[in-house]
């Protein structure tokens, strides 16, 4: 056993770091680091820069634009991006729908969707959850009925999705729909459909979260016509697709690089901010202990993640139920960091939203301004992508056999 990076791995890290330093636009980095709201254009601008370099889909097969990196290199790349403060690559296309099409899509579907996805020409969103179907996804009710007319065979979709992240930016949505409601086993009546967001009958309504931001939506389907060629895998096999995809989704929620960046920022702030006794806060033993605990959690997560990746490299198997662990720990750490940041700024954590204009200094300096909304916003991380309770259920059932 040797937990040091090899010379080649370190060289790779240097290469990535150097390239990011030279190519990450300063304004985008500023927005990310200061918790600014990333617009559709911001997200796509970064996506396109990476696509041009050939680094936007490291995990895809080489023929579709993958980098051929091994899992450790991919991990290093992710970490460096997080640490540098790049905008995220929106997962719905590259990390979810893409892998699904690569695994289950027809040649025609791959040719039609993957290059546009890769080049950032289509913005994707995920239509799984419904008002009555969150944790119990298999109970979903949005209905797709087969019909045909002179334009050809199609599905007619009716129903509602909710919590659709960035649905207001999206060109396409991948949906789980019910194509058969007569079956005793609910999972068997579900299918996976790709739907053009511009199709008549689709309405997107914003939902405002408690931080005041608009990132999720309700999406309504009223007699929406979807060509049958937009069905992925077989009719009634949507659940298989969904399960495959969830594994990918969870592998992506650890955000170790970003947490490292937050931790470094917090340490830097605590070194400048006086504690109650006037000495730098970082010298306050109570605060220092809290900080160290998060840091140690992060180290444990990082090594666990690498250990899983190493297993994957050897076995060639996709991550099993234990990847839920990475989601649980990764999100707890992300939340822990937002909580500690609030604590670090102390009384200055209170300002939330300016009503005047001249707020450059005083309580509203750049570090403190975004903290309270961010603390609120990050409560979502233990709820979305399968709540942490559901992740525990998965480990309990699948790994432990309870």
Partner 1 sequence: MNFDYNEEQQLLADSVRRFLAKNYGFEARKKIVASKQGWSAEVWTQLAEMGLTGLPFSTDYGGFGGGAVDLMGVMEAAGDALLVEPYLPTLMGGLLVARAGGDAQKKALLPAVVEGRLKLAFAHSEKGARYNLARVGASARRSTGGAGSAWEITGEKLVVLGAEAADRIVVSANTDKGLSLFLVSRESLRVRPYVTLDEQRAGDVGFAKAQGELLGAEGGALPVIEEVMDFATALVCAEAVGAMKFACDTTLEYLKTRKQFGVPIGTFQALQHRMVDMYVAHEQARSMACLACSKVDSNSGAGDRARAVSAAKIKIADNARLISQESVQLHGGMGMTEELKVSHSFRRLTMIAQQFGDADHHLARFAALDK
Ligand X SMILES: Cc1cc2nc3c(=O)[nH]c(=O)nc-3n(C[C@H](O)[C@H](O)[C@H](O)COP(=O)(O)OP(=O)(O)OC[C@H]3O[C@@H](n4cnc5c(N)ncnc54)[C@H](O)[C@@H]3O)c2cc1C
179 is a site residue for ligand X (CB under 6 A): no
335 is a site residue for ligand X (CB under 6 A): no
Q: Is residue 277 classed exposed, middle or buried when 0-12, 13-18 and 19+ CB atoms within 10 A define those classes?
A: exposed
Q: Does residue 332 have an active-site annotation?
A: no
Q: Which two tokens stand for residue 121?
A: 């020409």
Per CB under 8 A, the segment of 21-29, 64-72, 191-199, 348-356 that binds partner 1 is: 348-356
Query: Looking at beta carbons only, is 3 or 184 nearer to partner 1?
Result: 184
Task: Give yes or no for a contact between 122 and 172, defined as CB atoms under 8 angstroms apart.
Answer: yes
Q: Residues 98-127: x/- map of binding to ligand X (CB under 6 A)?
A: ----------------------------xx
Task: Give yes or no for a contact between 196 and 262, defined as CB atoms under 8 angstroms apart.
Answer: no
User: Looking at beta carbons, which pairs linking 265-272 to residues 24 or more positions away fall under 8 Å?
Assistant: 265/33, 265/367, 266/291, 266/337, 266/340, 266/341, 266/344, 267/291, 269/341, 269/344, 269/345, 269/367, 270/344
Which of 215, 249, 262, 302 is labelled catalytic? Answer: 249
Query: Looking at beta carbons only, is 366 or 392 nearer to partner 1?
Result: 392
Query: Looking at beta carbons only, is 91 or 343 nearer to partner 1?
Result: 343
390 is a site residue for ligand X (CB under 6 A): yes
Q: Can you tell me which residue has the tokens 């729908």?
A: 97
Report, in Å, the least distance between residue 362 CB and partner 1. 4
Least Cα distance to 379 among 334, 348, 342 occurs for 334
47 is a site residue for partner 1 (CB under 8 A): no
Give the one entry of partner 1, ligand X, none that residue 355 binds, where binding means its C-beta sits below a cut-off of 5 to 8 angstroms depending on kind. Answer: partner 1
Task: Give the single-character DSSP code of 67.
Answer: -
Report, in Å, the least distance between residue 215 CB and ligand X. 6
134 is a site residue for ligand X (CB under 6 A): yes
What DSSP letter does each residue of 315-336 carry, written as one string?
H-PPP-TTHHHHHHHHHHHHHH
164 is a site residue for ligand X (CB under 6 A): yes
What DSSP letter does each residue of 213-263 carry, written as one string?
-EEEEEEEEEEEEEEGGGEESSTT-HHHHHHHHHHHHHHT---HHHHHHHH
21 is a site residue for partner 1 (CB under 8 A): no
Report, in Å, the least distance between residue 186 CB and partner 1. 10
Please identify which residue in 15, 389, 396, 398 interacts with ligand X, judged by CB under 6 A.
Answer: 389
* Angle formed by the axes of helices 285-315 and 71-84, nearest 10°: 150
Task: Give yes or no for a contact between 96 and 174, defined as CB atoms under 8 angstroms apart.
Answer: yes
C-alpha distance from residue 218 to each of 89, 159, 166, 191, 240 (Å): 22, 11, 10, 20, 25
CA distance 118 to 74: 17
Scan residues 60-99 and list those touching ligand X (CB under 6 A).
none
Report, in Å, the least distance between residue 132 CB and ligand X. 8
128 is a site residue for partner 1 (CB under 8 A): no
Per CB under 6 A, the segment of 60-68, 245-253, 307-315, 388-396 that binds ligand X is: 388-396
Least Cα distance to 128 among 175, 173, 193, 189 occurs for 175
CA distance 4 to 27: 34
203 is a site residue for partner 1 (CB under 8 A): no
Q: Residues 361-380: x/- map of binding to partner 1 (CB under 8 A)?
A: -xxx-------x--xx--xx
CA distance 267 to 24: 24
210 is a site residue for partner 1 (CB under 8 A): yes
Query: Looking at beta carbons only, is 160 or 305 nearer to partner 1?
Result: 160
Residues of this chain that bind partner 1 (CB under 8 A): 129, 132-136, 139, 162-163, 207-210, 212, 216, 273-278, 281, 284, 286-287, 339, 342-343, 346-356, 358-359, 362-364, 372, 375-376, 379-380, 382-384, 387-389, 392-393
Residues of this chain that bind ligand X (CB under 6 A): 126-129, 134-135, 163-165, 216, 380, 383-384, 387, 389-390, 393
Please give the positions annotated as active site.
249
């Amino acid at each position: 056993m040797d937990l040091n990076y090899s010379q080649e791995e370190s060289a790779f890290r240097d290469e990535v770091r150097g390239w990011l330093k030279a190519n990450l636009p300063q304004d985008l980095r500023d927005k990310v680091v200061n918790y600014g709201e990333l617009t559709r254009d911001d997200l796509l601008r970064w996506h396109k820069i990476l696509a041009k370099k050939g680094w936007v889909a490291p995990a895809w097969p080489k023929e579709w634009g993958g980098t051929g990196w091994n899992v450790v290199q991919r991990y290093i790349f992710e970490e460096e991006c997080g640490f540098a403060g790049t905008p995220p690559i929106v997962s719905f296309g590259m990390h979810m729908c893409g892998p699904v099409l690569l695994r289950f899509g027809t040649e025609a579907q791959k040719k039609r969707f993957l290059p546009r996805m890769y080049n950032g020409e289509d913005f994707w969103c995920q239509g799984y959850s419904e008002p009555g179907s969150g944790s119990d996804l298999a109970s979903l009710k949005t209905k797709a009925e087969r019909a045909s007319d002179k334009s050809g065979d199609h599905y007619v979709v009716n129903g509602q999705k909710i919590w659709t992240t960035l649905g207001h930016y999206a060109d396409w949505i991948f949906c789980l729909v019910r194509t058969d409601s007569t079956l005793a086993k609910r999972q068997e009546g579900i299918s996976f459909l790709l739907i053009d967001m511009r199709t008549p009958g689709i309405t997107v309504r914003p939902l405002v979260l408690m931080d005041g931001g608009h990132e999720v939506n309700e999406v309504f389907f009223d007699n929406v016509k979807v060509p049958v060629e937009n069905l992925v895998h077989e009719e009634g096999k949507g659940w298989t697709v969904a399960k495959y995809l969830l594994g990918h989704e969870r592998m992506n929620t650890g955000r170790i690089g970003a947490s490292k960046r937050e931790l470094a920022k917090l340490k830097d702030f605590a070194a400048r901010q006086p504690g109650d006794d006037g000495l730098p806060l970082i010298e306050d033993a109570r605060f220092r202990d809290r900080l160290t605990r998060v840091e140690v959690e992060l180290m444990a997560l990082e090594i666990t993640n690498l250990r899983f990746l190493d297993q994957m490299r050897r076995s060639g198997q996709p991550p099993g139920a234990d990847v839920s662990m990475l989601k649980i720990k990764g999100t707890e750490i992300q939340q822990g960091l937002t909580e500690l940041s609030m604590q670090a700024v102390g009384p200055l954590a209170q300002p939330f939203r300016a009503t005047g204009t001249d707020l450059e200094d005083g309580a509203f300096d750049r570090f403190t301004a975004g903290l309270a909304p961010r603390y609120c916003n990050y409560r979502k991380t233990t709820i979305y992508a399968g709540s942490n309770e559901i992740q525990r259920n998965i480990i309990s059932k699948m790994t432990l056999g309870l």
